[in-house]
Amino acid sequence: MTDKTVAAASPTSGDAAAAGTGAEMPYARATHAARGTGRVDAATGAVVSPIHVSTTFERAADLSYPRGRVYSRADSAAYDEPEAVLTTLEGGAESMLFASGMAAAATLFQALPQGARIVAPEVMYWGLRKWLIDVARPAGIGVAFVDMTDMAALAGALDGGADLVWIETPSNPLWGVTDIAEAARLAHRAGAVLAVDNTAATPILTRPIEHGADIVMHSATKYLNGHSDVLAGTLTVSVGAAGDPLWQRTRMLRGMNGSVLGPFEAWLLLRGMRTLAIRVERASANAAAIARHFSGDPRVRAILYPGLPDFPGHDIAARQMAGGFGGMLSLCVAGGRDAAITMAGRLRLFARATSLGGVESLIEHRASIEGPTSPVPDDLLRVSVGIEDVGDLIADLDRALGR
């Protein structure tokens, strides 16, 4: 990979494309992330927002709720700032926080009409795929899995009709790239909503709504928070889809199901988002350097990273990811499953742990987590590249690969 392909454009500049989206975007994404909403507490002048812990809100003498809030299962003051920052970053109309990424996605799926049909990727975050098979299908929701790197396959699947197209790009853990604009065109032609799991790319690199998506989802547990200490999820809706019954029902179900985030977690998430741009830039640069370093190394059967020029989908990724290709990559170790597990066992700097998007580097043998129905090769190690010194990371991987 050339340096040019690693850093195609600065994510801290050039947000003119935000014009026409709901949230005002006068500054670059990095500035919005760093300053948050820029609000100063009116009572105290505090530049850091307080943690709102109240679960209940006062009625006026006539029993009305003049400030619009009733009870924190429906809506919490603790959500105002993190939701506003995320809405601006994603260029949407409004956002909702949830107790986890799974809760965010599941609530959206539950809001679909009875007998709805979802078209989802064959390779996607394993937990959500399992939810679609084990929970959605038995509940009468039709689910078709297709290769989302192949837009002809998506068009074919949509011949059967659909209410929701779900994509994830780059997608866990093979990092296949989906053309968001084309998926949006096909979904809308079929009368379906396009929802994008943007966890791996983050709004610093990709803003799916600019490419035609209706709803963006995050496991905010990952990059948005970035410190492996908060479990959270988010949905953001485009201006065009905000009035849809699907979004309104999703909001109603969040309150009815109580799949809400605690105030302290919401505050930590807000704090994490303020360093999002700098963390994503650093993790992306580190991942690109690692991919480049081990590319062609005989100890590695394959490196899966959308930033490599010969990776299928690289051109689409270069079009829809600005400023880098993310901090996630997978290494397929020559010698198969045992060699991969031995290699992971020798690492000192990388923690052998699930999850991704934190400041620390993690590595995981996905096939053993996902089980026998997983489409993941058993020589694959998924790597969440952190923000450590890249020389130290490369040296650790190099030593662990052995001779």
Using rule CB under 6 A, residue 233 touches ligand PLP:
yes
One residue of 107, 221, 225, 234 binding ligand PLP per CB under 6 A:
221
Q: Which of 46, 94, 141, 88 is nearest to 254 (CA)?
A: 94
Helix (H, G, I), strand (E, B) or coil at 55: coil
**305 among known catalytic residues:** no
Using rule CB under 6 A, residue 235 touches ligand PLP:
no
β-bridge pairing 362-365 and 380-384: antiparallel
One residue of 83, 197, 281, 379 binding ligand PLP per CB under 6 A:
197
Using rule CB under 6 A, residue 79 touches ligand PLP:
no
Using rule CB under 6 A, residue 199 touches ligand PLP:
yes
Cα(215)–Cα(195) distance, integer angstroms:
5
Helix (H, G, I), strand (E, B) or coil at 383: strand
Instruction: Give 263 or 326: the residue with its C-beta nearer to ligand PLP.
Output: 326
One residue of 163, 168, 214, 281 binding ligand PLP per CB under 6 A:
168
Instruction: Give 231 or 268: the residue with its C-beta nearer to ligand PLP.
Output: 231
Is the distance from CB of 287 to CB of 150 less than 8 angstroms?
Answer: no
**65 among known catalytic residues:** no
**222 among known catalytic residues:** yes
Encoded amino acid at 386, one letter: G
Cα(345)–Cα(202) distance, integer angstroms:
30
Task: Give the CB-nearest residue to ligand PLP.
Answer: 101
Residues in Cβ contact with 219 at an 8 Å cutoff, skipping those fewer than 6 apart: 100, 101, 102, 104, 125, 197, 199, 232, 233, 357
One residue of 27, 51, 127, 133 binding ligand PLP per CB under 6 A:
127
Residue appearing with tokens 């195609």? 8
Instruction: Give 84 or 230: the residue with its C-beta nearer to ligand PLP.
Output: 230
One residue of 110, 206, 219, 330 binding ligand PLP per CB under 6 A:
219
Copy the structure tokens of residue 68: 């619009």
Q: Which of 320, 330, 85 is nearest to 205 (CA)?
A: 320
Cα(245)–Cα(15) distance, integer angstroms:
30
Is the distance from CB of 326 to CB of 204 less than 8 angstroms?
Answer: no
Site string for ligand PLP, 344-383 (x = CB under 6 A): -----------xx---------------------------
Using rule CB under 6 A, residue 109 touches ligand PLP:
no
One residue of 112, 231, 268, 270 binding ligand PLP per CB under 6 A:
231
Using rule CB under 6 A, residue 128 touches ligand PLP:
yes
Cβ 39 to ligand PLP shortest distance, Å: 27
What's phi and psi for 214, nearest 5 deg? -95, -40
Using rule CB under 6 A, residue 247 touches ligand PLP:
no
Using rule CB under 6 A, residue 266 touches ligand PLP:
no
Among 81-89, 121-129, 181-189, 321-329, which window interacts with ligand PLP (CB under 6 A)? 121-129
Cα(136)–Cα(158) distance, integer angstroms:
18
Q: What is the DSSP string of 199-262?
A: TTTHHHH--GGGGT-SEEEEETTTTTT-SS----EEEEE-TTTTTSHHHHHHHHHHHHHT----
Using rule CB under 6 A, residue 265 touches ligand PLP:
no
**315 among known catalytic residues:** no
Q: Which of 29, 129, 207, 222 is catalytic?
A: 222
Cβ 175 to ligand PLP shortest distance, Å: 11
One residue of 97, 102, 143, 157 binding ligand PLP per CB under 6 A:
102
Helix (H, G, I), strand (E, B) or coil at 138: coil
Among 72-80, 197-205, 273-281, 345-353, which window interacts with ligand PLP (CB under 6 A)? 197-205
Q: Which of 125, 129, 214, 282 is catalytic?
A: 125
Residues in Cβ contact with 293 at an 8 Å cutoff, skipping those fewer than 6 apart: 394
Residue appearing with tokens 């790597």? 383
Site residues for ligand PLP per CB under 6 A: 100-102, 125, 127-128, 168, 172, 197, 199-200, 219, 221, 231, 233, 355-356
Q: Any idea which residues carry the catalytic annotation?
A: 73, 125, 197, 222
